[in-house]
A and B are shown apart, each in its own frame.
Chain A
Amino acid sequence: MSAPAAAAIIDVHGLTKRFGDRVVVDHFDMRVTRGRIYGFLGPNGSGKTTTIRMLCGLLTPDEGEGTCLGYDIRKEAALIKREVGYMTQRFGLYEDLSIEENLDFIARVYAVEGRAAKVKATLERLGLHSRRRQLAGMLSGGWKQRLALAACLIHDPQLLLLDEPTAGVDPAARRDFWDEIHDLAAAGLTVLVSTHYMDEAERCHELAYISYGKLLTQGTVAEVIAGAGLVTWAISDGDLVALGHALRAAPGIRTVAPFGTTLHVSADDEAGLTAALAPFRSAGLTIKPIEPSLEDVFIALMQGASDNFTPPAQ
């Protein structure tokens, strides 16, 4: 490892993966430094899982190179696997093994030293020691997620790759989960986590947003919001459904999204919003300028991206 790269846990350039003719990940660059929680966002099928799999050696990139934990992602996958904890999107442990047997298996595969003590400590930390003989398949979604995370951590990895870890988990369990992630990061673990939830995105130190395999933006939450350059107004009262439909067709409007009883309308500048709303001023609308939320930014990004991907003229 050279000196400047020392802090980079993940450092990849031009990562590209094709499945047949479809480009799933398109020249993707990413740099994640130690102890950071890096959020990975994007719509379904945008290439998040594929990117994570390339990082831990489960898929071979068609193009691009880089390092993960200082190891070459193409040639040193075996070394990467030893120091990475990867939590798959689907529950990846054995439902027909007990909680304890699952942890024991993972600890053995990673050749963890002091295995029995480690498994016992993990069970106690999870509060599952009394239920250790229960089959993993009998656990609820939230408990399965906690068990899967514990299994990822049993070999003291340097990097955690979490692929939509909180899908189908209730809010309280999600909050606990994120508290634990922050504790781990504070202790020096680097975390790459993909998610669909905006509240989770806001809990990350840094974000990357990808769509159709392309990186659209990255940075801290504030940087991402500022970088989008959106002006957003919250509109309430009046016939918001009809207004929404009318505004979506209006020129200069980037996004229109209903949030409860208000409608968030965003444009590149205030003039655009004023012009677009001019015909509806008489309708008794209450208009309030607001700071655009992460969600407004992502909706705008996604719409911009899909514009780029309209089929080329024949």
Chain B
Amino acid sequence: MSWSRFLAVLIKEFRQVRRDRLTFAMMVGVPIMQLILFGFAINSDPKHLPLALVDADRSEFSRSFIAGLENSAYFEITERPAGEKEGDAMLAEGIVQFVLVIPPDFSRKLIRGERPAMLLAADATDPAATGNAIAAINAIGQRSIGRELAGPLASLRPAEQPFEIRIQRRYNPEGLTRYNVVPGLIGVILTMTMVMMTALAMTRERERGTMENLLATPAKPVEVMFGKIVPYILIGYVQVLVILVVARLLFDVPMVGSLALLSVVLVVFIAANLAVGFTFSTIARNQLQAMQLTFFFFLPSMLLTGFMFPFRGMPGWAQAIGEALPLTHFLRVVRGILLKGNGIAEVAPHLWPIALFMAVAGAVALLRYRQTLD
């Protein structure tokens, strides 16, 4: 082994890395981003989960129980719907994580010793998000209502709890993680492949020297962009079809809702990701840089959208970033359609942010696309 030849390669390599400033920035930027995301944003024990309260009882017992809930930090009463039905709609749309229904005769039955029941319905599409809160609720009930049953009523405090909290794990009664993960994978796989494909499609033209020829033709930016995007939309559909078939046959994932509605949302979601990829391709000078930019977009999409970790467990700033990403909204839609059987009414509130993202990313891509070599 020759020391000088080894040095020659080593020095050349350092010089090349130093010259590629985007790669250099990524090598420093990605670890920092990962540290911040994993260190601050990720929390697998989410607190302050939104709860819709239907208190038909309005007794000191129910008030005490509600106070106990709020003190527990696991629950936060954000909605007070008029009835159970309205509460269920909120659960379906994803506005709340739980609906708590205290029936009108709760305290009467409690005093009579009839062991009344209240109902806690949880959105169990993401079992990780609800698990700890459900585990805590019985203890909260015991403590708060038990305290009320003091003095002359202490006789009613038997060893067994004098009331029952019925827990319904909606949409995923067995709490199977794969019901949550497999539909989510549709979004994650599309995000990765779609962004990467288009980011590479344009930089490849530049790298292989065909870009100048393409620019010299009368083809307009819009024509080039749509011409490059549409084939990948079709590829995206093939991917989704494969995932759905495997999800059904291998993982037995329920598909309650309309697949036609899902395919409409898919167009918007795929187009949004392709627009991002197209924007990257106007920034990246070579295919390596395009890959790095894709990764830079993919990382927060994995971590901040509720795919890997419960969305509601994240701090406010991380949720704000997450809300801006199309995958966040798509995950809500795809889980909503497949697991909850959501229709257009529940889907629409999550569809427009994806459409908005697509419009903005598409505009940026078109503005950045240069028809000249200036």
Interface residues of A (CB under 8 A from B): 53, 56-60, 77-78, 81-82, 84, 86, 88, 90-95, 106, 109-111
Cβ-based interface call for B218 (8 A):
yes
Is there contact, CB below 8 Å, between B218 and A88? no
Is there contact, CB below 8 Å, between A58 and B208? no
Cβ-based interface call for B155 (8 A):
no
A241 shortest CB reach to chain B, Å = 34
Bound CA span A295–B306, Å? 71
Contact among B216, B372, B374 for A84, CB-based, below 8 A: B216
Is there contact, CB below 8 Å, between B372 and A109? no
Is there contact, CB below 8 Å, between B217 and A56? no
What residues of B have a CB within 8 angstroms of the CB of A86 in the complex? Answer: 213, 216
Is there contact, CB below 8 Å, between B208 and A110? no
Cβ-based interface call for B210 (8 A):
yes
Is there contact, CB below 8 Å, between A92 and B209? yes
Given contacts A58-B372, A60-B372, contact A106 B217 (CB under 8 A): yes
Is there contact, CB below 8 Å, between B374 and A109? no
Bound CA span A109–B371, Å? 15
Is there contact, CB below 8 Å, between B217 and A58? no
What residues of B have a CB within 8 angstroms of the CB of A59 in the complex? Answer: 372-374
Contact among A91, A94, A95, A110 for B217, CB-based, below 8 A: A110
Interface residues of B (CB under 8 A from A): 208-210, 212-220, 371-374
Is there contact, CB below 8 Å, between B216 and A81? yes
B7 shortest CB reach to chain A, Å = 32
Nearest to A57 among chain B residues (CB) is B372
Bound CA span A165–B373, Å? 20
B220 shortest CB reach to chain A, Å = 8
Is there contact, CB below 8 Å, between B219 and A109? yes
A165 shortest CB reach to chain B, Å = 13
Bound CA span A111–B374, Å? 26
Is there contact, CB below 8 Å, between A78 and B210? no
Nearest to B205 among chain A residues (CB) is A94
Bound CA span A237–B315, Å? 89
Task: Give me 18 other A-B pairs in contact (C-beta within 8 A), A92-B209, A92-B212 excluded.
Answer: A56-B216, A58-B372, A59-B372, A60-B374, A78-B220, A81-B217, A84-B216, A86-B216, A90-B209, A90-B212, A91-B209, A92-B210, A93-B210, A94-B208, A94-B210, A95-B208, A110-B217, A111-B218
What residues of A have a CB within 8 angstroms of the CB of B373 in the complex? Answer: 53, 58-59
Bound CA span A91–B212, Å? 10
What residues of B have a CB within 8 angstroms of the CB of A60 in the complex? Answer: 372, 374
What residues of B have a CB within 8 angstroms of the CB of A78 in the complex? Answer: 218, 220
Contact among B213, B220, B372 for A88, CB-based, below 8 A: B213
Is there contact, CB below 8 Å, between B372 and A110? no
Bound CA span A245–B265, Å? 78
Is there contact, CB below 8 Å, between B216 and A58? yes
Bound CA span A77–B216, Å? 9
Nearest to B373 among chain A residues (CB) is A58
What residues of A have a CB within 8 angstroms of the CB of B374 in the complex? Answer: 59-60
Bound CA span A106–B251, Å? 47
Nearest to A151 among chain B residues (CB) is B213
Is there contact, CB below 8 Å, between A93 and B216? no
- Which residue, of A78, A94, A106, has the highest number of chain B Cβ atoms within 10 A? A94
What residues of A have a CB within 8 angstroms of the CB of B220 in the complex? Answer: 78
What residues of A have a CB within 8 angstroms of the CB of B212 in the complex? Answer: 58, 88, 90, 92
- Which residue, of B209, B212, B216, B220, has the highest number of chain A Cβ atoms within 10 A? B216
- Which residue, of A57, A109, A110, has the highest number of chain B Cβ atoms within 10 A? A109
Bound CA span A60–B217, Å? 16
Bound CA span A111–B223, Å? 13
A79 shortest CB reach to chain B, Å = 9
Bound CA span A60–B218, Å? 16
What residues of A have a CB within 8 angstroms of the CB of B371 in the complex? Answer: 77
What residues of A have a CB within 8 angstroms of the CB of B213 in the complex? Answer: 86, 88, 92-93
Given contacts A53-B373, A60-B374, A94-B210, contact A88 B217 (CB under 8 A): no
- Which residue, of A78, A88, A93, has the highest number of chain B Cβ atoms within 10 A? A88
Nearest to B216 among chain A residues (CB) is A86
B184 shortest CB reach to chain A, Å = 35
What residues of B have a CB within 8 angstroms of the CB of A92 in the complex? Answer: 209-210, 212-214, 216
What residues of B have a CB within 8 angstroms of the CB of A53 in the complex? Answer: 373
A135 shortest CB reach to chain B, Å = 13
What residues of B have a CB within 8 angstroms of the CB of A91 in the complex? Answer: 209
Bound CA span A84–B217, Å? 9
Bound CA span A301–B178, Å? 76
B206 shortest CB reach to chain A, Å = 12
Is there contact, CB below 8 Å, between A110 and B218? yes
